[in-house]
Structure 1
Amino acid sequence: MHRFATAALCVALGGCAAAPKMGWIRVDGQPARENPVLQTQFEVDRTACLGERNKAALSGVTFTGGGLAGAMAAADRSNAADTVAQGCMAEKGYLLVKEDEAITKQAELAKVAELKKQQEAAAVAPSSKPKKPSPPKPST
């Protein structure tokens, strides 16, 4: 039984090793690499969200049993904390994407941000249609 648990744990951990590299991009499509203001904001946001992730990882009851059940419980807890961090980063305007897809996704997001800006400007701008003059009021 011990060998089975060890083998299952190795297979589960081996799957993690093959995971693609991930990176954060801004939802507005702006590249932050060469912009010190955006880099600083990212560091502040990431630090805040890391704190939220750590709070989530520490909250609740911890399963301290050993073996495969303990490893699975720890993995579930870690995944839940990661989800909290992703949600926090999304609230602050970032998405986690595969690094090899980041440039394409960033371009898509920039187009969407531009469309959104145009739609918002159109909604705020007065309509270009001339108003019909109101009929004259009859005098009494």
Structure 2
Amino acid sequence: MNHRIPAVIAVLAAVALAGCVSSPRPVQVSAPPGLASSEALTWVRKDGQSGRANPALADQFAADRAACVRAPGDNAALREAESCMGQRGYALVPASQAAARAAQYRRMAGY
């Protein structure tokens, strides 16, 4: 009687069972806190001022945006322009946090 046959069967069974072991679930990597990837982003002046009540600031923002943002409308284009706009005094923030961030910048600027 051949004693290798049970050993071969045991190895084949182990290999077959190894294929049944489930792989670990994929880990979902989330966006940084407060920055959901689907949430709209917007620009806030780093001095906290708003162009809504100041036409000169609104005009300056329009010029800065035209110079920095190649394809307005999506978060990817805004992220590409982040360095250029940052040099011009703007921060890119989630739209839901814009008012709070502007208030924080005003406090830091002494307004």
Answer yes or no: same fold by TM over 0.5: yes
Within-5 A mapping of 1:61-100: 82-100=78-96
CA distance in 1, matches of 2:99, 2:61: 18
C-alpha distance after superposition, 1:83-119 (max 9, x if no partner)? 441100000001111111111110000111129xxxx
Relative contact order, CA 8 A, sep 6+: which one is greater?
1
CA distance in 2, matches of 1:105, 1:49: 21
Q: How far off its partner does 1:82 sit?
A: 5.0
Structure 1: any 5+ residue segments left out of the alignment? 1-17, 54-78, 116-140
The aligned counterpart of 2:98 is: 102
The aligned counterpart of 2:38 is: 19
The aligned counterpart of 2:48 is: 29
C-alpha distance after superposition, 1:18-49 (max 9, x if no partner)? 60011111000011112110000000000010
Structure 2: any 5+ residue segments left out of the alignment? 1-36
Contact map agreement 2:51 2:57 (CA 8 A) in 1: yes
Give RMSD over aligned pairs. Answer: 2.4
Does the C-alpha gap of structure 1 residues 40 and 82 become closer, same or farther in structure 2, counting only changes over 3 Å? Answer: closer
Letter in 1 for 2:92: L
Matched, 1:45 2:41: no
Percent sequence identity is 37
CA distance in 2, matches of 1:97, 1:38: 18
Q: Normalising by structure 1, what TM-score?
A: 0.46
Q: Which moved more, 1:98-107 or 1:18-27?
A: 18-27
Select the structure that is richer in helix. 1
Does the C-alpha gap of structure 1 residues 82 and 36 become closer, same or farther in structure 2, counting only changes over 3 Å? Answer: closer
How many residues of Structure 1 are paired with residues of Structure 2 in the alignment?
72
Q: Normalising by structure 2, what TM-score?
A: 0.57
